[in-house]
Amino acid sequence: MAQTFLHTLFDPGARALQAAAGSRASYARMEAGAGPVDRLTDRELDFISARDSFYMASVSEDGWPYVQHRGGPAGFLRHVTGNRIGFADYRGNRQYLSTAHVAADDRVALFLMDYPNRRRLKMIGHARASEDPADIAALMPPDYAAEPERAFLIDVIGFDWNCPQHITPRFTGVEVRRASQPLIDEIAALRARITQLEGQES
């Protein structure tokens, strides 16, 4: 579960604040269970493979946090093997911030949102950019209109599920169309019936 995630991110300041707030004892028990990594399970992998976007934070060479949105067809963030996940990096604004950052410091944080179901998953790990054509081909979604420049491979060391608090459900155009299609069909059927009845009256 989240033991390694928490153990990695808790610093003395956080532990002191937890002690003052009365939450330290239970978190200390969780930290005691930390191993080398939080092992990804089917639950996390299913969630990851359903996402069509996520946010990835990296660290600049002088320590600034930087976060970038990544998007693609659902499943573009893929399980590679074990605790390794990856995605194809499409040509964009050619600033190459994430690529440069992970070359200097490979630590990244990923934030994955499922707005309709009000779920979110946080992950931390070590990332590297690969220009190996085999890595890029393995991660590039088929028939997607983007030009891949490299692959990002991320070895997840920890993850934590967030609670659903304060998440406003949001829906994609596809989800809205799917939910409204039965209503559209029913309206069409009713209109056809009205037209038929009007034809019989005249």
Residues that bind ligand FMN (CB under 6 A): 68, 89, 92-93, 95-99
Minimum CB–partner distance for residue 71 and ligand FMN (Å): 8
Q: Which is nearer to ligand FMN, 65 or 92 (CB)?
A: 92
Identify the sign of the CA torsion 186, 191, 195, 197. positive
Minimum CB–partner distance for residue 100 and ligand FMN (Å): 8
Minimum CB–partner distance for residue 56 and ligand FMN (Å): 8
Report yes or no: 8 and 157 within 8 Å, Cβ to Cβ. yes
Candidates 58, 78, 75; CA nearest to 66 is 58
Q: Which is nearer to ligand FMN, 6 or 129 (CB)?
A: 129
DSSP 39: P
Q: Which is nearer to ligand FMN, 49 or 99 (CB)?
A: 99
CA distance 158 to 118: 21
Minimum CB–partner distance for residue 141 and ligand FMN (Å): 15
With CB atoms as reference, the residue minimizing the distance to ligand FMN is 92
Lookup result for tokens 């937890």 = 18
Q: Which is nearer to ligand FMN, 95 or 165 (CB)?
A: 95
Report yes or no: 110 and 56 within 8 Å, Cβ to Cβ. yes
CA distance 109 to 3: 16
Minimum CB–partner distance for residue 128 and ligand FMN (Å): 13
Q: Which is nearer to ligand FMN, 3 or 98 (CB)?
A: 98
CA distance 85 to 71: 15
